[in-house]
């Protein structure tokens, strides 16, 4: 695990934080009043992930950007559905779950836990590679 990964994770965390704040505010203030803002937040998640696809691909860690892109696409898809029907309780649950996952990612990156878990995985892979070569 490299310092470049640590730096990229930090940049993702810093960029994710205001998105999460805005998403939580939209949910708390009532989704029906904030559909355009939620759609915008979906776009922001996608753009955030796209900024880091290439550097994380080079480091052989694309799960994070895939998760963020999927969250953004899911938000956009649900907003599109909501523009043609009434808001249901399930919709609030859906957006809250997306928020909680993105907030968990932000918090585990900020605490260093995310990096440490990646380091454990990397060490395990290296150990397995060494055992299969001998």
**Where do the domains of the chain lie?**
3-133
Q: What is the mean pLDDT of the chain?
A: 91
For residue range 63-98, what is the model confidence (pLDDT) as tens digits? 999 999 999 999 999 999 999 999 999 999 999 999
* Separation of alpha carbons 24 and 26, rounded Å: 5
pLDDT at 72: 98
Burial degree of 88 (CB within 10 A; 0-12, 13-18, 19+): exposed
* Separation of alpha carbons 85 and 64, rounded Å: 32
Model-wide pTM > 0.85: yes
Tell me the pLDDT band of 18, cut-offs 50, 70 and 90.
very high
Higher pLDDT, 111 or 59: 111
| Residue 60 CB contacts under 8 Å (≥ 6 apart), including other chains | none
Averaged over 33-47, what is the pLDDT? 94
């Amino acid at each position: 695990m490299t310092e470049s990964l640590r730096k990229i994770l930090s940049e993702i965390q810093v960029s994710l934080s205001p998105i999460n704040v805005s998403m939580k505010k939209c949910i708390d203030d009532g989704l029906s009043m904030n559909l355009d803002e939620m759609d915008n937040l979906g776009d922001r998640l996608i753009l955030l992930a796209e900024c880091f696809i290439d550097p994380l691909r080079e480091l052989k860690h694309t799960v994070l950007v895939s998760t963020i892109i999927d969250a953004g696409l899911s938000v956009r898809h649900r907003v599109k559905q909501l523009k043609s029907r009434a808001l249901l309780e399930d919709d609030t649950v859906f957006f809250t779950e997306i928020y909680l996952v993105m907030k968990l990612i932000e918090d585990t990156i900020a605490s260093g836990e995310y990096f440490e878990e990646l380091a454990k995985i990397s060490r395990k892979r290296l150990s397995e590679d060494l055992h299969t070569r001998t």
